[in-house]
Structure 1
Amino acid sequence: MNEQEFAELAAGAALDALSPDDQQRYHAALAAHPEWQRIADEDADSAAFLSTGVAPTVPSPDIRAALLARIAVTPQSGDVIVTGSAPDALPESAPDAESAPDVAPVISTQPSSIRGEASPKAPAHRLRILFALAACLALLVGVGVGAVAVNEYLNRPASVIALQDIQASGDAQQASVPLEGGGTATAHWSASLGKSVLVTDGVPALSEGETYELWYVRGETPIPAGVFAVDDGAATAVLDGEMHAGDVIAVTVEKAGGSPSGLPTTDPVVVIPTA
């Protein structure tokens, strides 16, 4: 037995899918080649991971139907090997039916064997296919939960990413101010990153044609930092540009698209000093 043949049996052993004869061949080969233990260990670890690494989740009917349809058209047995053919006719010297002794025909239930082997081998490639199918099934079970989590992580808004970066920095700071009507606005910033994010709750919706505009007020100079809209009174907005230590974060109500002059046209509704 070569290493490839042993690898096929190791996959079946990891899935508890070997016949008694193949079990004996597997253990005999392992005893003769202890260096192949790593192959058995890798397959066993993979099978254990597939069985416990994903929380049980019922796959959707579409996934199950597609997998079963694929299995239905995949050959499920080894190739049939013909080792001989039956004679077209009995030899002339053969006894006729009347004189032949009453002997019941014997039909072998074992497939033809080559090289004189006493017991059949499971088709080697089938065991690796079975192992691969088990891996696919385990992955499909968790695909609903895993895909959603990965998709949510990869599609995080820029403001959320900026807020997480700020909160993870060593100099993260925040300050909140109350708003008219009972809402609040909280600024999060990191001077070392030069980033800031404004989180609002309870901010009133604006009329059509108006928007909220963000500003850095640096000394006496207002610097436009983008516009944002609120959804049911809430918003998380990252300020454009680089924040400097001591900047004041402000919000004004401007025409849709922001102030055309680049300067505030109304009194600020939010003022949060960062110094």
Structure 2
Amino acid sequence: MNEKDFAELAAGAALDALSPDDQQRYHAALAAHPEWQSIVDADADSAGFLADGVAQAVPSPDIRAALLARIAVTPQSGDVVLSDSAPDSMPDPAPGETADAAPVADSAPAARDGDDAPKAPAHRLRFLFALAACLALLVGVGAGAVAINTYINRPASVVALEDIQAAGDAQQASVSLESGGTATAHWSASLGKSVLVTDGIPSLAEGKTYELWYVRGDTPVSAGVFAADDGEATAVLAGEMHAGDVIAVTVEQDGGSPSGLPTSDPVVVIPTA
């Protein structure tokens, strides 16, 4: 991932608008390129400025009067009144209708001339207020649900990486790959967790996968397999990390080494001591 692509993800992260996949790519890229933290900080400052820099707008008192006047003359049959003024005369009410609408309509122009606004029937106002409240509730619940869903559905590797970075004894080490990419191990001895973040690791042929290992002395312990998407991966190592373990990666067949031992030379070797 280049700096331009990361800047786009950082802008989305500042607005809390990244998908789970993009959030994983964002964290992986930041872990591999800590020098891009300045981009993250700048976007966070910009988002805060946009949120705090908008002055609260006070609506004009005329808006309420005009709204109530329009409500008062709006038929309840579903028809829409397009005219900006009430008609000079009202037609005779149809059989079954009341003549209450005419006096209400006559009061509408007075409201537009600045006089007291007419009061719409209470049941109409209750309906409109309830509708507005429901819309506000739906918008709030919808936005909150998206944010909660995004947070809950974070990949396990991203959760583990965040836990490690928040630990008081968090450590990391990076190595360069033959392909020109980098691999960074993050670990916390107190948590017994470690995560490997790669950027620019080669894609493998069909039927092959990367396998993670904890190497304790001369004993390799399998820690799971992972695949790289366009050279990028954030993989949490399975099992508990021990102080002094070496984190290694080999290329194995799909599903990992059948013998439980590495079958190829490691492509990544990162000591943690």
In structure 2, the partner of 1:209 is 207
Measure the CA separation in 1 of the matches of 2:120 and 2:240.
67
Does residue 270 of the first structure (1) align with residue 268 of the second (2)? yes
Residue number among 230, 233, 238 corresponding to 1:232 in the alignment: 230
CA deviation map 1:201-226 (0-9, x unaligned): 11111111111000111222111100
Q: How does 1:1-275 map to 2 (within 5 A)?
A: 109=102, 126-139=124-137, 148-275=146-273
Bigger Rg, which one: 1
One-letter amino acid of the counterpart of residue 237, structure 1: A
The percentage of aligned residue pairs carrying the same residue is 80
Measure the CA separation in 2 of the matches of 1:164 and 1:230.
20
What SS does the aligned partner of 1:206 have?
coil
Deviation at 1:188, TM superposition (A): 0.7
Measure the CA separation in 1 of the matches of 2:64 and 2:164.
51
Deviation at 1:123, TM superposition (A): 5.7
Measure the CA separation in 2 of the matches of 1:245 and 1:130.
65
One-letter amino acid of the counterpart of residue 203, structure 1: I
Deviation at 1:190, TM superposition (A): 1.0
Measure the CA separation in 2 of the matches of 1:212 and 1:161.
21
One-letter amino acid of the counterpart of residue 269, structure 1: V
Measure the CA separation in 2 of the matches of 1:216 and 1:159.
17
One-letter amino acid of the counterpart of residue 219, structure 2: T
TM-score, structure 2 as length reference: 0.54
Deviation at 1:132, TM superposition (A): 2.9
Measure the CA separation in 1 of the matches of 2:126 and 2:225.
57
Aligned-pair Cα RMSD in Å: 3.3
Measure the CA separation in 2 of the matches of 1:174 and 1:266.
25
Unaligned runs of 5+ in 2: 1-62, 70-76, 79-98, 105-117
What SS does the aligned partner of 2:248 have?
strand
CA deviation map 1:47-104 (0-9, x unaligned): xxxxxxxxxxxxxxxxxxxxxxxx96xxxxxxxxxxxxxxxxxxxxxxxxxxxxxxxx
Going from structure 1 to structure 2, the CA distance change for 1:219 and 1:128 (only over 3 Å counts) comes to: farther
What SS does the aligned partner of 2:187 have?
strand
Going from structure 1 to structure 2, the CA distance change for 1:134 and 1:260 (only over 3 Å counts) comes to: same
Measure the CA separation in 2 of the matches of 1:220 and 1:16.
79
- Report which of the two has the higher share of helix: 2
Using the TM superposition, name which of 145-154 and 161-170 deviates more.
Answer: 145-154
Measure the CA separation in 2 of the matches of 1:175 and 1:123.
71
Measure the CA separation in 2 of the matches of 1:135 and 1:174.
50
In structure 2, the partner of 1:85 is none
What SS does the aligned partner of 1:264 have?
coil
Deviation at 1:200, TM superposition (A): 0.3
Measure the CA separation in 1 of the matches of 2:155 and 2:267.
25
What SS does the aligned partner of 1:259 have?
coil
What SS does the aligned partner of 2:128 have?
helix
Deviation at 1:198, TM superposition (A): 0.3
Deviation at 1:165, TM superposition (A): 1.0
Measure the CA separation in 1 of the matches of 2:214 and 2:258.
17
Measure the CA separation in 1 of the matches of 2:221 and 2:64.
69
